[in-house]
Amino acid sequence: MKKIRVLSGMRPTGKLHLGHLLGAIKNWKSLQSQDKYECFFFMADWHALSTAYRHSEHIAQNTIEVALDYMASGLDPEKCTFYVHSHVPQIAELFILYAMITPTAWVTRVPSYKGQIQELGEDIDTYGFLGYPVLMACDIVAFRAERVPVGKDQVPHLELTREMVRRFHFIFGKEIFPEPEALLTETPLVPGLDARKMSKSYDNAIYISDEPDVIQKKIKTFFTDPEKIHMGDPGHPEGCPVFFFQKIYNVDIAPEIEKDCKAGKLGCVACKKKLSESIIKDLAPIQEKRRELASRPEYIKEILMSGAEVARGVAEETLVLAREAVHLL
Ligand code: TRP
């Protein structure tokens, strides 16, 4: 039976946090272990370069950190193809072909584009960043991937990808790319220490590689229900970010925590202590594996090299079709 090809990637901007672990990696792990899927996961270093070109000296190390986080969290190079974006030049070649047929309005109108320039500053008002959605489309179609596990925020990019595929087929008269569909991650947005979305740029994240004492300290600062000041005050676990994590890390006692919090029997300090303990315990084997992997840099490089070789092979098959469709000599 032909497998369904799945592809996703992440920009290596630094170490990964619980938002990545619970939002994306958990989902990717379940996909890689299902027989019907053939998975490709990559570290999008070219995309990182599009916003962080002034600090490109960190990109290689960040790429390694992300690879360590991925593998320590259970992404298995035996079960998926795991590679670095810039190791697959066929993607860049396809990007040139797609760039020729992408109307400028399609990229300038991407809703996140102007917002991001406002957020990140004029520095990213570059030709490369403008082309980000086109490159992202090529990341997917170079592998003729059919499913793309991403968060809701990426859905407009996938819609654009489908439109670009249709345009390519229409202009060159040959159907070579499947129209990819998003596989939405079920986890709702993971809240950070200040209750906003967990994100490196908000400085509110708990990292996969944080030491136990760091985790404890961070969790003590967690935003909780502002109406619960004293232990005896009744709390509102529904909107409380600590309770969000209790439901994941203390599933079995979450109903009890909820009841006791509402009844004013459980204070935030004790509640947070239970949470730190469980998160630390859950991360321990991941961190152990991460340390072990980090001590074998040659092995990591080998994995990335062999992943890239497989990826180049698959992308080259697509490019043979694409060059022919475009009538290049
Ligand atoms: N744009 C995605 C993000 O910011 C990362 C990404 C780049 C991606 N290329 C991709 C995700 C291809 C899925 C498929 O998270």
Distance from the alpha carbon of residue 286 to the mean position of ligand 1, in angstroms:
24
Q: Are 135 and 89 in contact (CB under 8 A)?
A: no
CA-157 nearest atom, ligand 1? 1
Distance from the alpha carbon of residue 157 to the mean position of ligand 1, in angstroms:
9
Q: Are residues 242 and 280 in the same domain?
A: yes
- Nearest residue to 283 (alpha-carbon basis) of 235, 196, 218: 218
Q: Are residues 156 and 238 in the same domain?
A: no
213-242: burial string, b at 16+ Cβ within 10 Å, e else: eebbebbeebebbeebeeeeeebebeebbb
Q: Are residues 215 and 241 in the same domain?
A: yes
Q: Which domain holds residue 215?
A: 210-291
CA-135 nearest atom, ligand 1? 9
Phi and psi at 31, nearest 5°, equal -70, -40
Distance from the alpha carbon of residue 312 to the mean position of ligand 1, in angstroms:
18
CA-to-CA dists, residue 168 to 70, 92, 105, 161, 177, angstroms: 34, 16, 16, 11, 9
CATH of residue 228: 1.10.240.10
Per-residue pLDDT of the chain in tens (329 residues, 90 and over written 9): 899 999 999 999 889 999 999 988 999 999 999 999 999 999 999 999 998 899 999 999 999 999 999 999 999 999 999 999 999 999 999 999 999 999 999 998 877 777 777 777 778 889 999 999 999 999 999 999 999 999 888 899 999 999 999 999 999 999 999 999 999 877 778 999 999 999 988 999 999 999 999 999 999 999 998 888 888 899 999 889 999 999 999 999 999 999 999 999 999 999 999 999 999 999 999 999 999 999 999 999 999 999 999 999 999 999 999 999 999 99
Ligand 1 pocket residues where CB is under 6 Å: 7-11, 44, 47, 136, 139-140, 148, 150, 154
Q: Does residue 159 form part of some domain?
A: yes
Q: Are residues 164 and 230 in the same domain?
A: no
Please tell me the total count of domains within the chain.
2
Q: Model-level pTM?
A: 0.92
CATH of residue 35: 3.40.50.620
Q: Does residue 263 form part of some domain?
A: yes
Q: Are residues 233 and 156 in the same domain?
A: no
- C-alpha dihedral sign at 273, 275, 280, 282: positive
d(CA 168, CA 160): 12
**Rg (alpha carbons) of the chain, rounded to whole number:** 22
d(CA 149, CA 7): 7
**What residue's CA is closest to ligand 1, atom 8?**
9
